[in-house]
Each structure stands twice: as structure tokens, then as C-alpha cells.
Amino acid sequence: MLLPAAPARKRVAVLLPRPFQGTFDYAVPNGLDPQPGDVVLVPLNRREEVGVVWDAPAGPSVADAKLKPVTAVLDTAPIPSALRRFIDWVAGYTLATPGEVLAMALRVNALQPETPAAGWRIADAAKGKPLTEARARVSALLAGGAPQTTTAIARGASVSAGVVRGMAQAGLLTPVALPARAPFATPDPTHPGPVLSGAQATASETLRGAVASRRFSVTLLDGVTGSGKTEVYLEAIAECMEQGRQALVLLPEIALSSQWLERFEARFGVAPAVWHSDLASRIRRITWRAVADGAAPVVVGARSALFLPFPDLGLVIVDEEHETAFKQEDGVVYHARDMAVVRARLAEAPAVLVSATPSLETLANVEAGRYRRMTLATRHGGATLPTVAAIDLRITPPERGRFLSPPLVTAVQDTLARGEQAMLFLNRRGYAPLTLCRACGHRMQCPNCTAWLVEHRARRVLTCHHCAHTEPIPPLCPHCSAENSLVPIGPGVERITEEVAAVFPDARRLVMASDTLPGPHAAAEAAHAIERREVDLIIGTQIVAKGWHFPHLTLVGVVDADLGLSGGDLRAAERTVQLLHQVAGRAGRAEAPGTVLLQTFSPEHPVMQALVGGDLQAFMTAEAEGRKPGHWPPYGRLAALIVSADTAQVADEVARDLGHAAPRAEGVLVLGPAPAPLAILRGRHRRRLLLKTRRDVAVQPLLRAWLDQVRVPGSARVDVDVDPVSFL
Ligand code: ADP
Ligand code: ZN
């Protein structure tokens, strides 16, 4: 007898935001109809997990009877198809699992129902009652006005939050639910902007055309520092809004972008939606939803903004595209500039890469005809580019124990005497990078890392810039117990600041470093103080190189121009030129011309020559020629394997096994294994292998096959870094 075959149950593939290899199948119960992109709740190991219905055809690998059903389809915006394909693409390229990449897209509690913020109004019971002075101020503040939150009342009435809570407990305040307020208003593309110069107008028309075409393209907007690139691409954003599509702007360090945000507001009337990892969770949720339902037409953000659920992305801009801050080094290791181009392609939208010092990668793409290039050759408003000169430290060294040479001191003096501002740049935080015992030569080292401890004198500590290990500066040498024998070697910005205080006691100083400017607010305050001329002399780390526009700044002194050139990094020269050119670009951006002085022991070095001669193009051409023969990026591909383990022995074993299993093929070379320059990091022993291939070789399949052959014990791990930027 034939039984009628049971109809196959409907099933869907669900991707979970976890490092599993692929999707899981779930049965679709009657009454539910989950579509690709829908956010669903599913059972997993006796728990409920949030996942996303994926496009992969649900396979029959699990028998129908064993399938668990989807619990619920959540009432939240779906993950759009372009983002789903992007997640798969990033996973495929970086060798992360799609679930790990999805986790970045779902790193928001968007699914939590919106709890309205609680506010207070004055209770009827309070009316006509005698109140203490503080309570009377609260009562006066709320009388007749809209309800306010505890924080707002405390601020508005100059009372503590305790006063507000006390009044609530005494029944003098009545709770009210406040309506959820979007943290941003809608920018107005027709709000009048500045009149663009001829070259700016040409570039902006090209970009507007690219946006209007609604097709993928990549444009390099390359203009000298101060040429007004921002104003140009803001026009492309206006066009995008007029097209009814959304625009995404990636900035390397959103905390240092106060001037950018002010510029945006001046152009469009209101601030844009902002996205970065430090957002309060409520703002994060509101912003995520506003992006998902199209209510946020412009988002400016850090790398993670690439994973926002834009339903109709029409433009992606990467400002300061040469910045290494776009490379994410933890978790899913990816380069946000490169992934931004992919994101744009999958959204059928143009990408614009912006820089005064474009990366060799981008220039090679221009050269190969893959990217269009628009150039702004002069500064806005007739300002001239600064004059750059080298100070040869072999000829005019600083006094003993000092770091500023006589010509630099004189230049600063002259600048201050003219009432202009000067800036000293040294890319090193703290007081001194090394502390040494004069008696026995002992060096103060981090107990967890292959690194010296950096003295931070103001805080009286030695600290590791890799693992944050911190200890008080010891009174005796921990090795030989000599007294007063520990001496600082070399300068950090703190030490330069001390020298400046001694040499220019009357100058008003400001230190710009990540530890002196904690957070966006402090950085914005510092920028305002400089704009208002409340500061004469700025001493800073790489923070000062970031796009700032300080009209009264005319002198930039680079304390140690050779700093970035040591070490075996393939991009050391390129990066030094970019960084120093960007710092130099802060000088003379208004009427008064700027001067840049580079303190160096090798003025003949091609990097110094390029900066002094101002011919970056020639430098980059030479750099390209140097990389072509060895198939170094961008004329070849690199991928790094980083082995880390609890013990040196396990690290060595895994690294050796990887070395034996290394792929061998035409156009493929494996370097290493070798101890990483940071051979111990946070107590983990590290080894590196580097895969170098010709450009036409796809490295991902090679890497997958390679890793499959090696068994990695639980105490070790192998991290993959495709297109490495850091070689530590
Ligand atoms: P870049 O990013 O190319 O270094 P910016 O965009 O910071 O240059 O522009 C430098 C300064 O010139 C800014 O203060 C900017 O507002 C101003 N600026 C640029 N273009 C114009 C314009 N067309 N009209 C008025 N001001 C402009
Ligand atoms: Zn450390």
C-alpha cells in the first residue's frame, strides 16, 4: 500500500550573528512567511537567538522531522539585499564567517522596543505649597513649560538630580512619558552653500553627474590641502538627497571631526546622523532605525557605518582615504576604504575617495583606468601652499638635553612675535618612549609585551601603549637597585611641552594628544580655542594632522621627521610623506603664508626631498616603480597569518606546521614563519607568515586550502589579515 508522501515542510536558511560556518535551516510554521532579510527569532541550544533570513537556498541536509521552527518574525526593518550581499562579500574576502560579519551589522539593540524617556511635570499637589529654595527653582522651571527629564531639570534649575528625585518621592512631580525624538533633523539640500570656484564647480558637476547616473563608479577627488574638497563633495551629497537616496560619509576619526560637522551644518542647516562605536545605546537604536526606514538621508560615520541597513544608498564618500585608521585590525580584519568601494558597487552607487595625499593603491587604480580622478590644484581663496624646508640636525643640533634646534626656536619666536600661531608636531605620546637605568643599562619593559614602557610624567607612571599595563615610576632601578638612576631617553609631546614652557614661557600652550583630549567634546573645545586665538603654540601628535582648518596658524615644526622611517614596513616612506604633508598642510591656510620646518638627520632622504620640493606626484611614481618588480602591493597581493599562543613552544609548532603546508605555485611566495616584531603581546607569543602573490592570483582559495591542512590546538589561534597594513 502506498502512503501519500508527506508534503515537504517549507524551510528557510537563517544566518546567526555568530562565528558558525554557514546558515542554519529552520521550518516555517503556518501563519508565518519570512522573507530574505527579515529579522527572526529562532531556537538555538535551548535559547532564543536573533538571526536574519538569508538568501542561500535552504538545503535538505537536515531531515524535515528534525527541523525546529522559526519562533517569530520580528517587527523591525529587514536587512536589505545589498547589505546581505555585502556581508557575504566581506566574509568571502577576509575569510571571516558571514555570521561574524553579520554581528557587526546587528551590533545594535534595534529590536528592543523603544522605551519612551521619562520626564516630569509639576504635580498639582505642589502648587501653592511652601518649597525649599532649590525645589522652588524646579517648580518655577517646570511651571507652564513642557515636561523635562531629570537631567534637564537638574541642569536648568541648577539643582542636583537628588533634589528632583526627592520631589518625585514626595509626590511633588508627576511622571510623564516623553515622545521619542530623532537625534537629528533632515538636512536641506537647497540650503544655500558657498559659491564654488571654477575648479571646484567643475569637480562638483562631475560628482553630481555621477550621483545622478545612479550607477557605480569610483572617483578620486585629489586636491591640495585647503583646496576646499569638502565643499565640493557636499554638493554630491546635495544631489544624492535631491535624488531621494541616502549618502554615507566615512571619516577616519569621528571624534576629531567637529569642524567637519560644523561645515556640514553650515551647508545643510542641520547636523547629519552620526555613527560610531561610542554612541549611547538609545541614540544608536534610533539612528539604526532612521537609516533602515530612510529617515536619515545622510550618515557620517566610522568604518562600522558600512554595515548600516541603508535601503537606498546613493553615494559613498571616504574622506582622507589614505588614512590607516580605516583598517580594522580586531575581529573581522577589513579595510573600510576598500570595502566602501564594494559597498557602493553592490548598491549601484558612486564612490568618491578624497585626499590630498592619495594612497598608492588608489593611484594605481587611477593609472589602470578603474577610477576617475578630479584634481584641485590650488588652495581656496588665493592662499598659497606653505614653504617647506629641512633643518639638518647634524649641522644645527639642539642644545644638550633639548630637542628643538636653534633655527626652529628662532622661527617659533618670530611667528609668535607677529601674533601668529605655531604648531610643533611629534607623533609620540607621553614624556619619553624609553626609561633606562644609567647605572646598569636596564630598560623598563612591559611585563606582557615586547615593548618599552612609556613614561607619562604628569601622571607619574610608566605605561605600555600596547596593553595599557601601567605602573608607578619606581624610585630605584628594579634590576640593580641604584637610586635616582632612571633617566628618560628621547622625547614625547609631554617633554616637548616642558621644553616649550622653558623656552617660550609667555606663549599660551595647548597639547593635542589622545590622552589630553579625551573625546569629541574636548577636541572641539580645543579647535575653538585655537580658532579664537586663545592659544599661541600647539604641541601635538598625529591628531594635529587631521584636516583641521586653523586660519591663524602659519608655522609648523616637525620635531622628528625621521620617526616613521625606521622599521621594515613596506609603506613606511609613503606613510611618512602622507603624514608630514598633512601636518604641513595645516600651515598658512588663510592670507598669511605658511612655513614648515622639518628637523631631520637625513635631509637627502627621498621623503624629505619630496616634502621640501613639494612634488608628491614624483615621489609616488618612484615609490610605484620600487614596488613593481617584487610584486609588492598594489602590484601584487599580500596576506598575513598571525599565530598566537600561550607559550612560545606552541606558537612555534603551529607556525612550523603552517610553514610546511605553505602553498607552492608559480607567482606565489611564502615568507616566514618568523617571530612578529611584537613577539609577545598581552602575554601571547606571536609568529608571522606572509603570503605574497602576483596580482592575478586569488589569495582566498590559497589561504583556505592552506589553513585546512593545519590543526590548531585550542590554546593557539591563527588570524588572517588580507591586505595587511600593519606588520607588527
Ligand atoms: P581641504 O579639505 O581640501 O583641505 P577644506 O574643505 O577644509 O579644504 O577648505 C578649506 C577652507 O576653505 C574651509 O574653511 C572652507 O570652508 C573654505 N572654503 C572652501 N571652498 C570655499 C568656497 N567655495 N567658498 C568659501 N569658502 C570655501
Ligand atoms: Zn604591554
- Rounded to the nearest angstrom, the distance between the alpha carbon of 516 and the centre of ligand 2 is 21
The pLDDT value recorded for residue 587 is 94
Contact 470, 464 (CB under 8 A): yes
Phi, psi of 642 (to 5 degrees): -115, 115
Which ligand 1 atom is at minimum distance from the Cα of 263? 16
- Rounded to the nearest angstrom, the distance between the alpha carbon of 678 and the centre of ligand 2 is 10
- Rounded to the nearest angstrom, the distance between the alpha carbon of 472 and the centre of ligand 2 is 15
Q: Could you tell me the sign of the dihedral formed by the alpha carbons of 518, 522, 523, 529, in that order? A: negative
Contact 228, 380 (CB under 8 A): yes
The closest ligand to the CA of 201 turns out to be 1
Cell output for 656: 612550523
Report residue 134 CA to chain centroid gap: 44
Which residue puts its alpha carbon closest to atom 21 of ligand 1?
228
- Rounded to the nearest angstrom, the distance between the alpha carbon of 685 and the centre of ligand 2 is 12
β-pairing verdict for 24-27 and 47-53: unpaired
The closest ligand to the CA of 263 turns out to be 1
The pLDDT value recorded for residue 676 is 95
Which residue puts its alpha carbon closest to atom 20 of ligand 1?
228
- Rounded to the nearest angstrom, the distance between the alpha carbon of 376 and the centre of ligand 1 is 11
The pLDDT value recorded for residue 60 is 66
SS3 track for 573-626: HHHHHHHHHHHHCCCCCCCCCCEEEEEECCCCCHHHHHHHHCCHHHHHHHHHHH
- Rounded to the nearest angstrom, the distance between the alpha carbon of 459 and the centre of ligand 2 is 18
Say how far apart CA 310 and CA 295 lie, in whole Å. Answer: 10
Q: What is the DSSP letter of 545?
A: G
Protein residues placing their CB within 5 Å of the ion ligand 2: 446, 448-449, 464, 466-467, 469
Q: Give all strands (DSSP E) within 158-254, no chain letters.
A: 173-177, 217-223, 246-250
682: left (phi over 0), alpha (psi -120 to 50) or beta: left
Neighbours of 702 (CB within 10 A): 19
The closest ligand to the CA of 684 turns out to be 2
The pLDDT value recorded for residue 539 is 97
Which residue puts its alpha carbon closest to atom 27 of ligand 1?
228
**Sequence ranges of the chain with CATH classification 3.40.50.300:** 198-381, 385-428+491-625
The domain at 385-428+491-625 falls in which architecture?
3-Layer(aba) Sandwich (3.40)
**Sequence ranges of the chain with CATH classification 3.30.70.600:** 636-722
Say how far apart CA 173 and CA 123 lie, in whole Å. Answer: 5
Which ligand 1 atom is at minimum distance from the Cα of 230? 6
The closest ligand to the CA of 320 turns out to be 1
Q: Does domain 198-381 match CATH 3.40.50.300? A: yes
- To test the pocket of ligand 1, the residue of 257, 549, 586, 591 to mutate (highest count of ligand atoms within 8 Å of its CB) is 549
- To test the pocket of ligand 1, the residue of 196, 197, 230 to mutate (highest count of ligand atoms within 8 Å of its CB) is 230
The tally of CA atoms less than 13 A away on the side-chain side of residue 324 is: 15
Placement of cell 596576506 in the chain: 639
Helical pair 606-613 and 616-627, crossing angle rounded to 10 deg:
150
- Rounded to the nearest angstrom, the distance between the alpha carbon of 463 and the centre of ligand 2 is 8
Residues of the chain short of pLDDT 70, as ranges, are 1-9, 57-60, 109-117, 179-183
CATH number for domain 636-722, candidates 3.40.47.10, 3.30.70.600, 3.40.50.620, 3.40.50.150: 3.30.70.600
SS3 track for 280-291: CHHHHHHHHHHH
The DSSP string of 30-77 is TT----TT-EEEEEETTEEEEEEE-SSPPPSSS-GGGPPBP-EE-SS-
Which ligand 1 atom is at minimum distance from the Cα of 376? 3
Cell output for 330: 580586531
Which ligand 1 atom is at minimum distance from the Cα of 225? 4
Which residue puts its alpha carbon closest to atom 13 of ligand 1?
228
Which ligand 1 atom is at minimum distance from the Cα of 195? 23
Placement of cell 519612551 in the chain: 116
Q: Which residues pair with 719 in a beta bridge?
A: 642
Contact 692, 636 (CB under 8 A): yes
Superfamily of domain 11-106: PriA, 3(prime) DNA-binding domain (3.40.1440.60)
Cell output for 176: 510623564
Which ligand 1 atom is at minimum distance from the Cα of 194? 24
- To test the pocket of ligand 1, the residue of 220, 257, 267, 380 to mutate (highest count of ligand atoms within 8 Å of its CB) is 380
- Rounded to the nearest angstrom, the distance between the alpha carbon of 552 and the centre of ligand 1 is 15
**Sequence ranges of the chain with CATH classification 3.40.1440.60:** 11-106
Say how far apart CA 105 and CA 84 lie, in whole Å. Answer: 10
- Rounded to the nearest angstrom, the distance between the alpha carbon of 451 and the centre of ligand 2 is 6
- Rounded to the nearest angstrom, the distance between the alpha carbon of 589 and the centre of ligand 1 is 9
CA distances from 715 to 646, 649, 657 (A): 6, 11, 15
Which ligand 1 atom is at minimum distance from the Cα of 223? 3
Which residue puts its alpha carbon closest to atom 17 of ligand 1?
228
The closest ligand to the CA of 683 turns out to be 2
β-pairing verdict for 461-463 and 454-456: antiparallel
Which residue puts its alpha carbon closest to atom 15 of ligand 1?
228
The pLDDT value recorded for residue 17 is 95
The closest ligand to the CA of 231 turns out to be 1
Neighbours of 234 (CB within 10 A): 26
Q: Considering only CA atoms, which of 380, 36, 384, 454 is closest in space to residue 200? A: 380
- Rounded to the nearest angstrom, the distance between the alpha carbon of 451 and the centre of ligand 1 is 42
Which ligand 1 atom is at minimum distance from the Cα of 200? 23
Phi, psi of 223 (to 5 degrees): -145, 150
Which residue puts its alpha carbon closest to atom 14 of ligand 1?
549
Which residue puts its alpha carbon closest to atom 18 of ligand 1?
228
Cβ contacts of 125 within 8 Å, gap of 6 or more: 171, 172
Cell output for 683: 602575554
Phi, psi of 44 (to 5 degrees): -150, 120
Q: Considering only CA atoms, which of 555, 590, 597, 589 is closest in space to residue 420? A: 555
Say how far apart CA 286 and CA 298 lie, in whole Å. Answer: 14
- Rounded to the nearest angstrom, the distance between the alpha carbon of 435 and the centre of ligand 2 is 15
Placement of cell 612655513 in the chain: 595
Say how far apart CA 246 and CA 544 lie, in whole Å. Answer: 31
The tally of CA atoms less than 13 A away on the side-chain side of residue 70 is: 31
Cell output for 25: 535551516
Helix (H), strand (E) counts: the chain = 19, 31
pLDDT tens readout for residues 52-105: 999 976 666 777 778 899 999 998 889 999 999 999 999 999 999 999 999 999
Residues with CB under 6 A from ligand 1: 194-197, 200, 223, 225-231, 263, 380, 547, 549
